Amino acid sequence: MPSPGGRGSGMPDVLVAGGCGFIGSHLVRRLLQRSDLARLVVVDNLWTGREGNLSDIADERLEIRVSDAETFSDSSKFDEILHLASPASPAWYMADPIRTIRANVLGGLNLLQLLKPGGRFCFTSTSEVYGDPLVSPQPEHYRGSVDCTGPRSSYDEGKRCVESMLFESRRVSGTNIRVARLFNVFGPYTRADDGRAISNFLNQALTTGVLTVYGDGLQTRSWGYVDDIVDALERYFWLDAIDYPGPLNIGNDREVSVLEVAEYICSIVPGCRIEFAAPVPQDPTNRRPDLSLARSVLPGWIARTGYEEGVTLTLEWFQTQRGQSLQDPLLKRPGTAALVGQDARAT
Ligand code: UDP
């Protein structure tokens, strides 16, 4: 991947806020492949991120600083800043909504002060800005169907506020910004207790064997495998040739119901079954990105990994994390042997 230049002075210093998190840690690995990088500072308060996500990296350019994004300071400023400092799982952001707002909004304001003049500020926003969408697929110009006082509002409005701050900073001061709106992302380096659908289902499959589908499971999402999503972010955030501040939808535009994903996991992990649980309040009924703009801004990029392949890769990763053998791991689950062969599925 070509490296950006044009920031004027030599090798860039880069800061990634949230770099120990799920997507952040993937981006850090990609950044360290850049030969032009002088220094890579990761700022993470380890709320949802884990230092272990980066612990296998030996690179003297990498510096991990345990700090909130909103209070982080440094003696020098940065050529490129990537703001990913926020929980993204509803279970986590709903557990501490004020802290979520603080991480996004105060974090964003503080980090902006650390940008060198002429530097680039990149932000991972979210499809949550579309709320429970009334149009499908959702193009970037769709303004959303949102509830600014609802249970998801800390995350949704936190992200919207940072978008606003960045676009106003660009308008008033000419700040160089790139705003990506990520649809659902899954894959390796997710926490086992993250709580989002695919990681939850896989960890349930590997432990209790009971997959909890909230509501009737007919709500849909567009499931983006992390490698595809990070491919897009790498191009969008790195490349100087791109002259588009955003917002830019990034995701996989194949729309699949939650129930279908759970059923698929049951079909590849013997002995699993589905249990339906109470619906989540204000759970969006559908989500699918319109990727027309992404195709023109990021020529050649495509989310090529189907959820089936992505789920398999993620399952293998979780198995490795749990120390299970890839050949016959499921028999290590208590009670699995008794379940194999039974038609235990509740669908
Ligand atoms: N979901 C589910 N069971 C789980 C976790 C999530 O049925 O164990 C559902 C959730 O209600 C939502 C969808 O899966 O409809 C995606 O949820 P997730 O938390 O992954 O992300 P969201 O798109 O809601 O932010």
Q: Is 219 in the pocket of ligand 1 (CB under 6 A)?
A: yes
d(CA 151, CA 240): 38
Centroid of ligand 1 to alpha carbon of 287 (angstroms) = 12
- Tell me: do 180 and 311 sit in the same domain: no
Q: Is 283 in the pocket of ligand 1 (CB under 6 A)?
A: yes
- Tell me: do 103 and 150 sit in the same domain: yes
Burial 104-135 (b: 16+ CB within 10 A, else e): bbebbebbbebbbeebbbbbbbbbbbbbbbee
Q: Is 280 in the pocket of ligand 1 (CB under 6 A)?
A: yes
HSE-up of 151 (CA within 13 Å, CB side)?
11
Answer whether residue 185 shows pLDDT above 50. yes
- Tell me: do 197 and 228 sit in the same domain: no
Q: Is 261 in the pocket of ligand 1 (CB under 6 A)?
A: no
Centroid of ligand 1 to alpha carbon of 166 (angstroms) = 29
Indicate the number of domains in the chain. Answer: 2
Domain coverage including residue 317? 188-222+254-279+305-342
- Tell me: do 107 and 158 sit in the same domain: yes
Give me the pLDDT at residue 2, please. 43
Centroid of ligand 1 to alpha carbon of 169 (angstroms) = 34
d(CA 22, CA 20): 7
Q: Is 138 in the pocket of ligand 1 (CB under 6 A)?
A: no
- Tell me: do 102 and 212 sit in the same domain: no
Centroid of ligand 1 to alpha carbon of 296 (angstroms) = 30
Residue 300 lies in a domain: no
Q: The domain that contains 23 carries what CATH number?
A: 3.40.50.720
Answer whether residue 209 shows pLDDT above 60. yes
What atom of ligand 1 comes closest to residue 204's alpha carbon? 8
Give the tens place of pLDDT for each residue, 59-85.
999 999 999 999 999 999 999 999 999
pTM: 0.92
d(CA 123, CA 144): 19
Answer whether residue 46 shows pLDDT above 70. yes
Give me the pLDDT at residue 9, please. 53
Give the tens place of pLDDT for each residue, 102-158.
999 999 999 999 999 999 999 999 999 999 999 999 999 999 999 999 999 999 999
Helix H or strand E encompassing 40: strand 39-44
Mean pLDDT throughout 304-318? 97
Task: With both helix axes pointing from N to C terminus, report the angle between 258-268 and 197-206 in degrees, rounded to the nearest 10.
Answer: 30
Decide if 4 contacts 30 (C-beta within 8 A): no
Name the pairing type of β-strands 220-222 and 255-257.
Answer: antiparallel
Give me the pLDDT at residue 139, please. 98
What atom of ligand 1 comes closest to residue 91's alpha carbon? 19
Residue 54 lies in a domain: yes
- Write the Ramachandran bin of 84: left for phi over 0, alpha for psi from -120 to 50, otherwise beta: alpha
Give me the pLDDT at residue 71, please. 98
Answer whether residue 304 shows pLDDT above 80. yes
d(CA 229, CA 224): 6
For atom 4 of ligand 1, the residue with the nearest CA is 197
Q: Does the active-site annotation cover 93?
A: no
Give how far Cα 113 sits from Cα of 20, 77, 160, Å. Answer: 22, 8, 19
Centroid of ligand 1 to alpha carbon of 83 (angstroms) = 24
For atom 6 of ligand 1, the residue with the nearest CA is 197
For atom 11 of ligand 1, the residue with the nearest CA is 214
Name the pairing type of β-strands 185-186 and 220-222.
Answer: unpaired
Give me the pLDDT at residue 10, please. 82
d(CA 244, CA 297): 7
Answer whether residue 333 shows pLDDT above 50. no
What atom of ligand 1 comes closest to residue 213's alpha carbon? 7
Helix H or strand E encompassing 301: none
d(CA 264, CA 307): 9
The average confidence (pLDDT) of the chain is 92
Helix H or strand E encompassing 213: strand 210-214
- Tell me: do 228 and 338 sit in the same domain: no
Residue 195 lies in a domain: yes
Among 93, 130, 155, 307, the active-site one is: 155
Q: What percent of the chain has pLDDT over 90?
A: 90
Q: Shortest CA distance to 105 belongs to which of 91, 89, 90, 86? A: 86
